[in-house]
Amino acid sequence: MGTIQNKLEDPVSDELTLVRAAKQGDDSAFEELVRRYDRNVFRIAQHITQNREDAEDVVQEAFLKAYSNLAKFQEQSKFYTWLVRIAVNEALMKLRRKKPERTVSLDEDIKTEDDSLPREIADWSPNPEQQYTQAELREILSKTIQGLPPGFRTVFVLRDVEGLSTEETAAALELSVPAVKSRLLRARLQLRERLGRYFQKRESGDGEQ
């Protein structure tokens, strides 16, 4: 058991070592993978489901599914990308069960190109986040991202919050690279516009400039 713990130096080759050990039945190696990625999977799941209990379920189901399908993992991609794909699918399934009247898929919400043109171009105050307490800011960010369609917020979260590359995001979501880029642009612009309501420079009053 201790042998795995001693090898945790190079994150990339080490991930493969852990995966191979887990495939051989070493549960402590799998537990190490859980420890390494549980926070990421939870964040992704809560961003998609917008519900904490659902996110907890998704974390459990995603890791259990990864464990039981580990033999099928081909090692051509990173384990993490493979795990993210499982977690995103589980999270989208939760959403579908909750909102059966609406189709929830990554392919929805394709609109015409010009919907991403910004309508609101007012500047923000410097360090706008400092106008709010941490709790208020989290509330604003959470509410704002909830307003995005699931397909957009999923791409945004993987790329901009979790830091996956465009290619990794495309692989995890089974989308093309241009599709990821186009959704990312629209997600970023929509969030920017919505956050502007809270962060815009106030023109009135106290002798600005």
Partner 1 sequence: MKCSDFLHELTNYLDGVLDKPTKVELENHLSWCHNCYVVCDTTKKTIEIYRDSQLYELPEDLRTRLRSAIMTKCQQHKKRGPESV
Q: Note the residues at the interface with partner 1 (CB under 8 A).
A: 25, 27, 30-31, 34-35, 38-39, 42-43, 46-47, 55-56, 59-60, 63-65, 67-69, 116-118, 121-124, 128-129, 137-138, 141-142, 145, 156, 160-161, 163, 166, 181, 184-185, 188-189, 191-192, 195-196, 199
Six-digit token string for 66: 């990864």
Nearest to 58 by CA among 25, 97, 103, 91: 91
- Residue 66: how many CA atoms within 13 Å on its side-chain side? 30
Q: In the structure encoding, which two tokens stand for residue 154, read together?
A: 């999923």
What's the closest the beta carbon of residue 63 comes to partner 1, in angstroms? 5
Distance in Å, CB of 130 to partner 1, minimum = 11
Q: To the nearest whole angstrom, how small is the minimum distance from the Cβ of residue 163 to partner 1?
A: 8
User: Residue 81 or 144: which CB sits closer to partner 1?
Assistant: 144
With respect to partner 1, which residue has the nearer C-beta, 103 or 130? 130
Q: Which CB atom, from 5 or from 13, has the smaller least distance to partner 1?
A: 5
Of 8 and 13, nearer to partner 1 (C-beta) is 8
Could you tell me if 87 and 45 are in contact, meaning their C-beta atoms sit under 8 angstroms apart?
A: yes
CB of 203 to partner 1, least distance (A): 14
Nearer to partner 1, 15 or 54 (CB): 54
Comparing CB distances to partner 1, the nearer of 110 and 185 is 185
Question: Please, what is the minimum distance in Å from the beta carbon of residue 44 to partner 1?
Answer: 9
DSSP per residue, 98-111: H-TTS---TT----
Please list the residues that pair with 196 across neighbouring strands: none
For residues 197 and 136, give the distance between their C-alpha atoms in angstroms, rounded to a whole number. Answer: 14
For the CB of residue 62, give the shortest distance to partner 1 in the complex, in Å: 9
Residue 105 to residue 124: CA distance in whole angstroms: 33
Round to whole Å and give the CA distance between 160 and 208: 33
84 Cβ neighbours under 8 A, 6+ residues apart? 40, 41, 44, 158, 162, 164, 172
